[in-house]
């Protein structure tokens, strides 16, 4: 009896934007000696079921006023945000964007943060 074994190589995310973002983060981490970007890239490379999802309520509890918070995944709109916070993430739900803007906060994607703050100083990672 012949037994076939199928070996599947892990290919990473199929979303081309996400792949380009991961490559950018890895190169910036090496280029600028900023380990925060390789950490974010590693979290974004995970399988979809293991990626980070953070609610607005979690951001409200864990972030200080006028702080920059990065979520290596999706920000969802459950809960309330009562202080202005700059939230950086790969994706935002429409409800999350609305609540952040209502609290006079700011929504940014990760690429924008890399351009504005190449070393990633003063940024809190929420997972």
Domains contained in the chain, number: 1
For position 42, which CATH number holds? 3.100.10.10
CA–CA distance, 11 with 30 (Å, rounded to integer) = 22
* Model pLDDT for residues 50-93, shown as the tens digit of each residue: 888 999 999 999 999 999 999 999 999 999 999 999 999 999 99
**5: in domain:** no
Residue 121 resides in a domain: yes
- What does the pLDDT look like over 11-52, one tens digit per residue? 677 889 999 999 999 999 999 999 999 999 999 999 888 888
Domain assignment present for residue 50? The answer is yes
Range of the domain at 79: 16-125
Given pLDDT bands bounded at 50, 70 and 90, which one contains residue 2? low
pLDDT for position 83: 95
Domain assignment present for residue 8? The answer is no
pLDDT of residue 48: 84
pLDDT at 7 over 70: no
The pLDDT assigned to 103 comes to: 96
Q: Please tell me the predicted confidence (pLDDT) of residue 90.
A: 94
Assess if residue 4 is contained within a domain: no
Is the pLDDT assigned to residue 111 strictly greater than 80? yes
| Position 86 in a domain | yes
Look at residue 80 and tell me if it is in a domain. yes
| 79 conformational bin, left if phi > 0, alpha if psi -120 to 50, beta if neither | left
Q: Is residue 1 part of a domain?
A: no
Are the CB atoms for 87 and 108 separated by under 8 Å? yes
Q: Which of 10-14, 112-116, 119-123 has the lowest mean pLDDT?
A: 10-14
């Amino acid at each position: 009896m012949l037994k076939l074994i199928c070996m599947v190589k892990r290919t990473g995310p199929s979303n081309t934007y996400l792949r380009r973002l991961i490559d950018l983060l890895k190169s910036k981490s090496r280029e600028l000696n900023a380990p925060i970007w390789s950490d974010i890239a590693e979290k974004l490379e995970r399988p979809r079921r293991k990626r980070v999802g953070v609610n607005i309520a979690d951001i409200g509890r864990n972030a200080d006023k006028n702080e920059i918070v990065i979520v290596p995944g999706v920000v969802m709109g459950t809960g309330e945000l009562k202080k202005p916070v700059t939230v950086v993430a790969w994706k935002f739900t429409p409800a999350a964007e609305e609540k952040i803007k209502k609290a006079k906060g700011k929504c940014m994607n990760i690429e924008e943060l890399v351009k504005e703050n190449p070393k990633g100083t003063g940024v809190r990672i929420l997972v």
